[in-house]
Amino acid sequence: MPPVIADEKNIARAAALLKQGRLVAFPTETVYGLGADASNPEAIKRIFEAKGRPSDHPLIVHIPHADHLANWARNIPDDAKRLTAKFWPGPLALILNKKPEVPMEVTGGQQTVAIRMPNHPVALRLLNAFGGGVAAPSANRYCRISPTQAQHVEDELGDAVDLILDGGACQVGVESTIVDFSTDKPVLLRPGQISQQTIEAFLQVELMTHRPDSSVRAPGMMAVHYAPMTLTLLCKAGDLDQIVLDNIKHHKSVGVIAYKQRINTQAAIQIITMPQQADAYAQQIYAALRELDRLNLDIILVEQPPVSDAWSAINDRLAKATRPGLI
Ligand code: TXA
Ligand code: MG
């Protein structure tokens, strides 16, 4: 189903569909979400069917205002509240202890729930028109690259979704930062644009980066995720030229996502040169991977960008989308 422009009429239609238990894809500032009424277990089941995602993997509930937090979570620590006051609406999801009435279908059977208030005018207008919580994973098929444009959603999910609202390209481009406040100490479960150092400096608290118990299901944390169909290697800048040449020699069609290196071969079938700034790079990386994946090349080579706090979300996603490119 082709995306429709996210005007007032279509947003009202989308809210009505959500109330009927249908699926609506909508833009957020991070990636497009595949939304359903978070209080309706039948609607939630449709999300898992459409994505081909195992039903024990929990979803994020999107809310129109921080005031709604108390409808979904209980025992909310002060630090969690401080983060919402500072960073919401924004690319930050919190894991909190769930209220008993939150359906188990949303939380994958766990006693905790993920919640965020997105910072996108279309998402907020939709959430306000709907008036409740919308459970929304990224609107891609299970383990594939998240969509950052409405067209990507149609390419991924086709008619499995009842309406796709087109709000243009997502500004952030990688999924939200997730901080788990359900145990004693906060844990960074997924890095995002709001970085570990930013949160630690604001809270004056160190974040753990792994949960002590590893039973928590978080598909974004699995080794293979966000992956193109094409074999994709992550190469050190200094190795890139050589790896390109080796592949050309073996008659392979090659795509390159370059950061800095101006590779000296013209033979690479496709070269996408990425921005030097982390935010701009993040905004474009999924679209770049998708573009090269569509060409059915033999191999995609991604040049390793810088490794620092500002690049941690990008490096996390690249590590999951690729295998190491060894010489
Ligand atoms: O930026 C985003 O967060 C996007 C947009 C659409 O909001 N959504 C998104 O959803 O990335 P999804 O389902 O693709 O990723 C949600 C992540 C998963 O890794 C999931 O396991 C984790 O959040 N998660 C959700 N609830 C959880 C819980 N109760 N405990 C631990 N992890 C949880
Ligand atoms: Mg996802």
Question: What is d(CA 130, CA 123) in angstroms, rounded to the nearest whole number?
Answer: 10
Q: What does the block give as tokens for 68? A: 């709604």
How far is CA 124 from each of CA 119, 128, 152, rounded to the nearest angstrom? 7, 6, 21
Phi, psi of 145 (to 5 degrees): -70, 135
Query: For residue 112, how far is its CA from the centre of ligand 2 (angstroms)?
Result: 18
Q: What does the block give as tokens for 297? A: 């090349």
Nearest CA to ligand 1 atom 7: 33
The pLDDT tens digits of the residues spanning 182-193 come to 999 999 999 999
Query: For residue 205, how far is its CA from the centre of ligand 2 (angstroms)?
Result: 28
Mean per-residue pLDDT, 149-170: 97
The pLDDT tens digits of the residues spanning 102-117 come to 999 999 999 999 999 9
The pLDDT tens digits of the residues spanning 207-251 come to 999 776 655 555 455 555 678 999 999 999 889 989 998 999 999
Identify the pLDDT of residue 219.
Answer: 47
Ligand positioned closest to the Cα atom of 127: 1
Neighbours of 248 (CB within 10 A): 15
**Residue found by looking up tokens 């306000």 in the block:** 128
Confidence bin at 1 (pLDDT 50/70/90): confident
Query: For residue 310, how far is its CA from the centre of ligand 2 (angstroms)?
Result: 21
Query: For residue 61, how far is its CA from the centre of ligand 1 (angstroms)?
Result: 9
- For the ranges 51-55, 61-65, 66-70, 297-301, which has the lowest average pLDDT? 51-55
Positive or negative, the Cα torsion across 34, 38, 44, 46? negative
Question: What is d(CA 145, CA 321) in angstroms, rounded to the nearest whole number?
Answer: 8
Identify the pLDDT of residue 210.
Answer: 79
Mean per-residue pLDDT, 14-34: 98
Confidence bin at 19 (pLDDT 50/70/90): very high
Question: Counting atoms of ligand 1 from 1, which one is nearest the CA of 34?
Answer: 6
Which residues line ligand 1 at a C-beta cut-off of 6 Å? 28, 30-31, 33, 57-60, 91, 93, 95, 107, 110, 112-114, 118, 136-138, 175-176, 178, 189, 216-220
Mean per-residue pLDDT, 124-153: 97
235 beta partners? 303
Query: For residue 284, how far is its CA from the centre of ligand 1 (angstroms)?
Result: 21
**Residue found by looking up tokens 């729930």 in the block:** 113
Identity of the amino acid at 238: G
Ligand positioned closest to the Cα atom of 93: 1
DSSP letter for 215, please: T
* Domains parsed from the chain with CATH numbers: 4-203 (3.90.870.10), 232-321 (3.40.50.11030)
